[in-house]
Amino acid sequence: MRKITGIMKIIEIKTLRGPNYWSNFRKKLIVMKLDIEQLEELPTNKIDGFADRLEKLIPSMVKHRCSKEYAGGFFERVKEGTWMGHVVEHIALEIQTLAGMECGFGRTRGTGAPGMYHVVFSYMEENVGNYAAKASVKIAEALVDGTDYDLDADIKLMRQMREKSRFGPSTGSIVDEAVARDIPFIRLNSESLVQLGYGKNQVRFRATMTDKTSSIAVDLASNKDETKKMLQEAAIPVAKGMCIMYESEVEEVIAKVGFPLVFKPLDGNHGKGASINVKTLEEAKAAFEHAKKYSRKIIVEKFITGFDFRILVINNRFIAAALREPAHVIGDGVSTIQQLIDIENKDPRRGYGHENVLTEISIDRETDEQLAKYNYTLSTILKKGEQCYLKGTANLSTGGTSTDVTDIVHPHNIFICERISRVIGLDICGIDIMATNLSEPLEVTGGVVLEVNAAPGFRMHLAPANGLPRNVAAPVIDMLYPTGKSCRIPIIAVTGTNGKTTTTRLIAHIVKNNGFRVGFTTSDGIYVQNSMLTKGDTTGPVSAEFILKDPTVEFAVLETARGGILRSGLGFGKCDVAVVTNIQEDHMGLSDINTLKDMANVKGVVARAVKRDGYAVLNADNEHCVSISKTTDCKIAYFSLDENNPVIVEHCKKNGIAAIYENGYITIKKGDWKFRVEKASHVPLTFGGKVTFNIYNVLAATLASYVYGFTIEDIKMSLETFIPSAAQTPGRMNIFDFKEYKVMIDFAHNADGFRGIKEFLSTIDSPLKIGIITGTGDRRDDDIRDMGRISAQMFDHIIIRQDKFLRGRQADDIVKLLVEGIHEENPKQSYEYIPKEVEALKHALSLAKPGTFITALSDVIDNAIEVVQSYLDKERGV
């Protein structure tokens, strides 16, 4: 055994929020890249006293089974010897559980580099998950070093963080009910504003107010005096009282109404500023001043003896009823009030904030004022059996309790409450009633309606201290999404190495021509119909969410790139169709994705997100795309340039659907039947059938559209009308015809893209082919060299320029690697270096002779298009 210093280094922390590389089902994951440094050489069994210190600090980890499949299994693993990344994972999970957020999924995997691990674990609240990642490393380091660690401070802070960010009980219950019904949700702010559903089928709610809630009804409910008048006019029993503004009116209201009284703010809520059972002029003046803090006008009513009931009405239907009681203690003849509060707070049902059925009773000014009414202090010893109220209102968030009484409410009282919801006009309505009971009509018991509340809390019904819990969120969802109303819009997601943007645009064109208002994301911007709303590379989850939040969008087509998947997961939970265009060697070595198999697992996230009755559209000519089919739980459709491809043959034998290129036609094959869509040479995007990679894109888009449900006739028309141009497909083989030469601008940025351009250029008859190229800094050295090699094969003269984004390299390094590749292919190749892209373009244009074909492979498409278009306009005299 040896003692060491347990210093580790967090390289990065990623927060995943959707289906992801690690799990399609567990969307909320923290991925921490951790360098355990010298601890790589020391598993836990070689660190003196580590296992004992861990078990002493966090004994509750005995529940962790790990691979042993029984309680205490993880502690055994620690004693036998495991690596520190694994320990950090388990600590991160357990400290979240101790803070009231039980998170059970975790895994730790090496990155391939010595001492470097991905520590992956689930979270409930994002800010807490990130904190748990950092804290778990500090805890592990303290355990290695044998130093003390204040775990309680971490747990307390994490609880506070949780309460600050989590949904409240009402909002959370509606979200949980939606999720249980497979209705997607998007949190629209850091509070309680939530969108259910996508696009045009979305609805929104905030706490228990929905987009169906009448603003007039909310305004009425907020004005207690106006509410009271309307209820009186509707012959609904209410408490006698009046509205006042000045302290001088207090004595007048006492004379008219008589003690005991209730004072409450006119537009208050949640019991704020309210005082009950006021019996003296002194108390009345104090109650007035207290209420005045919350409103200019004060409601003063007769205090009705009885019990405080809350009735919940949703969509004009009675749903639940609860008896509410303010926070209180009952004397034992021995303990002080403070001691009784401490005992009550030890009740396991009580917790911090909303974490348990009941909230801990806090001591505040209201408590002191309430005790003062009885001439009590916290040191007072109550008689045995004496009940002492600590708050003036029965609010659960201040320690109050509730008892469900739904099943004993008299039908006439139900009728009154449902009528009240219509009189005020609230879709979700909380009605406060004071009565001796609800099992008899209010007319019999002398009970009255005290208030009508917009945005009533659900907690007292969801988790009463006594009685049957009621799923009051269910009728809210029933109201927002009645039978037959869809919550989703169709989603087609497109991923792959090359061809994503063109395929996305073509699918969007087909969708639009079929009468849908389509929203789509691409590497050049976000679009709704023909309008660009946001410019830039918008292929990540934030952009997808942008489209899904748009209430005008009827159909989404989402380009989905590798980076966003690894950084945050998908921006949607499920899609109807997923397209994987191809998987090639690009972005290798980034984010620890080192092999094509790794890359297939990343791209496969999109295919694995397809609904069970949807389709994954895969490239049968690419073995890594084909391998994805084994990991999906949906239908499969393949596309190929070769109808005799064994994958296609076997698939169609089983009556599968495919798109093939046969005898010059784009063809749908279903079982043994062929349905020709259009001759490839008649599809503008294929440039007369010369551009193989665009034939692939057409096959992918055709197949995705067909399996979604569009007809062959409609697809054919769309293929014929999709014209490649700087406007329709910016940066995708945009060819500009000058009088004596041509210029093509393309976004090809990897070796496979360069090969596609090379194949097309082989069909071009030109005495001089000039190429403007660059390398991408975050690619491997040989990937950059390969782009130089291919350039030397297809161009007579090469102009090397500098990429706008060097991505971690020096410009000279990139140029050096490109030149090495060029010389490996052709030592005599003509080339020059002009750093600025615009200058490189202008220079290439100056070299043009009759018949010259200039190809600019650009990363900043707009700049290149603008320069070339300006020259073309000048030539045409525009």
What is residue 820's three-state secondary structure?
helix
DSSP 360-376: PPP--HHHHHHHHTTT-
CA torsion through residues 405, 456, 192, 317, sign: positive
Listing DSSP states for 534-595 in one string gives: EES---SHHHHHHHHH-TT-SEEEEE--HHHHHHH--SSS-EEEEEE----S-STTBTTB-S
**Nearest partner of 741 among 597, 854, 655, 835, judged by Cα:** 854
Backbone conformation region of residue 733, classed left if phi is above 0, alpha if psi is from -120 to 50, else beta: left
d(CA 51, CA 62): 12
* Helix 811-825 and helix 781-794, axial crossing angle in degrees, nearest 10: 50
Residues 230-253 pLDDT 10s: 999 999 999 888 899 999 999 999
> What DSSP letter does each residue of 137-176 carry, written as one string?
HHHHHHHHHT----HHHHHHHHHHHHHHHSPPHHHHHHHH
C-alpha separations of 379 from 335, 336, 367, 610, 662 in Å = 9, 5, 13, 64, 92
The answer to whether 253 and 293 have CB atoms below 8 angstroms apart is no
Burial of 186 (0-12, 13-18, 19+ CB in 10 A): middle
Residue 60 to residues 97, 140, 319, 697, 698: CA-CA distances in angstroms?
10, 16, 40, 55, 58
Residue 678 zone, left/alpha/beta (φ > 0; ψ -120 to 50; rest): beta
- Tell me which amino acid residue 612 is: R
As given in the structure block, the two tokens for residue 610 are 């397809």
Instruction: Decide: 474 and 668 in contact? Cβ < 8 Å.
Output: no
Tokens read off for 490: 């169709």
At 308, the amino acid letter reads D
Q: For the CA atoms of the chain, what is the radius of gyration?
A: 35
Q: Which of 516, 527, 485 is nearest to 708 (CA)?
A: 516
Phi first, then psi, for residue 591 (nearest 5°) are 55, 35
The confidence score (pLDDT) of residue 4 equals 56
Distance of CA 489 to the CA centre of its chain: 17
Spatial distance between the Cα atoms of 838 and 799, rounded to a whole number of angstroms: 12
Extract the tokens encoding 787: 């782009």
Host H or E run for residue 533: strand 531-535
Q: Whose structure tokens read 């029965």?
A: 394
Ramachandran area for residue 176 (φ above 0: left; ψ -120 to 50: alpha; else beta):
alpha
- C-beta atoms surrounding 538 within 10 Å: 25
Closest CA to 263 of 281, 246, 277, 247: 277
Q: Can you give the pLDDT at residue 1?
A: 43
Q: How far apart are CA 287 and CA 203, in angstroms?
A: 41
Sheet of 769-773: strand order equals: 734-737, 742-746, 853-857, 769-773, 797-800, 830-833
**Tens digit of each residue's pLDDT (9 = 90 or more) over 597-623:** 999 999 999 999 999 999 999 999 999
Kindly give, in sequence order, each residue whose CB lies less than 8 Å from that of residue 450, ignoring residues fewer than 6 positions away. Answer: 238, 239, 262, 301, 304, 432, 433, 434
Token pair of 366 as six digits = 């209201």
- DSSP structural state of residue 2: B
Over residues 66-114, the pLDDT tens digits come to: 888 888 999 999 999 999 999 999 999 999 999 999 998 999 999 989 9
Question: What is the pLDDT, as a whole number, of residue 2?
Answer: 46
- What integer pLDDT is reported at residue 804 of this predicted model? 67
Tokens of 382: 């109550």
Q: What is the structure's pLDDT at 805?
A: 67
Cβ(402)–Cβ(469) under 8 Å?
no
State residue 338's pLDDT score: 94
Residue 587 backbone class (left: φ over 0; alpha: ψ -120 to 50; beta: rest): left
Q: What is the pTM of this model?
A: 0.86
Instruction: Enumerate residues 6+ apart whose C-beta is below 8 A from 61.
Output: 54, 55, 74, 75, 90, 91, 94
Strand partners, 321: 311
3-state secondary structure of 91: helix
Residues of the chain with pLDDT under 70: 1-6, 268-271, 803-805, 807, 858-862
Q: What is residue 32's three-state secondary structure? A: strand
Nearest Cα residue to 138 out of 70, 88, 210: 88
Cα–Cα distance for residue pair 322/432, rounded to 1 Å = 10
Size (the chain), residues? 878
d(CA 488, CA 614): 14
d(CA 58, CA 161): 21
Instruction: Answer yes or no: are the C-beta atoms of 333 and 438 closer than 8 Å.
Output: no
- What integer pLDDT is reported at residue 877 of this predicted model? 81
| Residues 568 and 14 sit within 8 Å (Cβ to Cβ) | yes
Specify the DSSP class assigned to residue 102: -
